[in-house]
Amino acid sequence: MTDDPGGDGGMLSWDESVFRDEHVFEIDYVPETFKHREGQMQSLTYALRPAVRGSRPLNVMVRGPPGTGKTTAIQKLFSEVTAQTREVQTIRVNCQVNATRYSVFSRLFEGSFDYEPPSSGISFKKLFGQIAEKLVEEDRVLVVALDDVNYLFYENEASDTLYSLLRAHEEHPGAKIGVIVVSSDPTLDVIDELDSRVQSVFRPEDVYFPVYDQPEIVTILRERVKRGFHDDVVAEETLEHVASLTADSGDLRVGIDLLRRAGLNAEMRASRVVEMQDVEKAYETSKYINLSRSLSGLSENERALLEVIATHDGKQAGDVYEAFHEQTDLGYTRYSEIVNKLDQLGLIDADYADIEGRGRSRSLSLSYEKEAILDRLE
C-alpha cells in the first residue's frame, strides 16, 4: 500500500477533487439557466409587471409537488425585479421556519429595516404598522412570497396572515402589497381552506409546476454536472441512471443531492470518476431528502409523537395518545392537532376504521420505513 493514492492515473491525489464547484449541488443554489419553466416564469412576470409601474401587483398562487422548481422560480423572478427597479421590494418568507403570522411579519420587518424586531414587547399591530408606514413613506411596492405556505395551514395561521397582508391598504392607506403563495402540498386546496373573509379578497392567478419528466431531468442534471464536476467525472450512462432514480421519486432535489453524494463517495474511494456503485450507495440517503426536510421543521413535541407512533405503528389513536400523554403531559386537543399536521405532511397515515365495540376510530401508521424515520430523528 502506498501513501499517495495519486500515483495511479485513475486516482485522486490528496489535494484534488472531482468537483469543479460543489455549491452547484447545494439546496440554495440558483442556476443561471432555468430550463422547462418558461411558461410559469411568463405568468409570474405578468402578475408582477404592475408593481414595476408603481401599482399593486396581481396576487399569485403557485402550486406543485416538492422539487418542481417553484422556489427557484421565485428567486429568479425576485432577482430580476430587484435588478430592474428600486421601487419594488421583494421578500421571500420560508413558512416551514416561520409558521405563524407574527414570525412571518417579523421576517418582513427584518427585510424592510435590515435588522430584526425586538425579541419581546412589540405587538403585532405595531410591528405591522412600522412595515406599512415605511412602504408608504418610501412609496415602494412590497411583494411577499410565502414559500411553503402549507405550513401556515398546518398551524391554522394562513387565513390571519393573508388577511393582514391583503387588507393592509385599508388600515394604512397607500400601502401596496402583493402576495405570492407557494404550496408544495398537492392535497391542499388553498382557496377552500381559507376563511370566507380572505376568500372574498384573495383571487390569485394560478401557476402550476408539474413534475419534471425524465428527458427534462436529464437536461437539468447534465447542466449541473457540467458546472459542478470536472470533465469526464460523470459518464452519460451514470447520468441517465441518476435521472431514472430521480424520475421515480418525482423530486428533482433527489437527483441533485444524489449527484453530490455520489461525487463524495467517489472521492472517498480516491476515484476520478463517479461509478454506479457510488450512485447506488448515495441513493440510500438521497431518496429520503423530502423526509429529512419535513423532519427538520418539527417541534420537540411533534418529533416525540412521531417516535411514539413508530413504536405503536398501526395502533388506534387512543392507545397512541396514552403513550404520548405519559411522555409529554399534553392534552388530547393538542395531540389531535399534531396528528393532523403529521398526516398533512405525509409522515403518517391516519385512517378511520370501524372498530367493534368502539365505533369509528383512527389507526396511526408511518408513511415511511420505521428505521428511516428513527435514524433521522436522532
CA dihedral 84, 30, 212, 184 (to 10 degrees): -90
CB 272 within 8 A of CB 10: yes
Question: Cα–Cα distance between 81 and 143 in angstroms, integer?
Answer: 10
**Distance, CA of 133 to CA of 66 (rounded, Å):** 36
Helices marked H in the chain: 38-52, 70-84, 101-113, 124-138, 150-154, 158-166, 168-171, 190-193, 196-199, 214-228, 236-249, 252-268, 276-286, 289-296, 300-311, 317-328, 332-344, 370-377
Residue 359, pLDDT above cutoff 70: no
- Rounded to an integer, what distance in angstroms lies between the CA atom of residue 92 and that of residue 75? 8
Among 3.40.462.20, 1.20.5.510, 2.170.120.12, 1.10.10.10, what is the CATH number of 298-377?
1.10.10.10
Q: Where in the chain is the domain with CATH 3.40.50.300?
A: 38-208
pLDDT in tens, 53-62: 999 999 999 9
Using 50, 70 and 90 to split pLDDT, how confident is the model at 4?
very low
Decide which of 1.10.3720.10, 1.10.10.60, 1.10.275.10, 1.10.8.60 is the CATH code for 213-287. Answer: 1.10.8.60
Greatest distance between any 2 Cα atoms in the chain: 76
Topology of the domain covering 38-208: Rossmann fold (3.40.50)
What is the pTM assigned to this prediction?
0.90
Give the pLDDT confidence score for residue 289 in this predicted structure. Answer: 93
Do 178 and 58 meet the contact criterion of CB atoms below 8 Å apart?
yes
pLDDT tens figures, 162-186: 999 999 999 999 999 999 999 999 8
Q: Which residues are annotated as a binding site for ATP?
A: 68-72, 212, 224
Enumerate the CATH 1.10.8.60 domain ranges in the chain, comma separated.
213-287
Give the cell for residue 114. 435590515
Report the binding-site residues. Answer: 68-72, 212, 224
Q: Is the pLDDT of residue 107 over 50?
A: yes
- CATH 1.10.10.10 domain span(s) along the chain: 298-377
Distance separating alpha carbons of residues 284 and 267, to the nearest angstrom:
18
CB 48 within 8 A of CB 40: no
Model pLDDT for residues 279-309, shown as the tens digit of each residue: 999 999 999 999 999 999 899 999 999 999 9
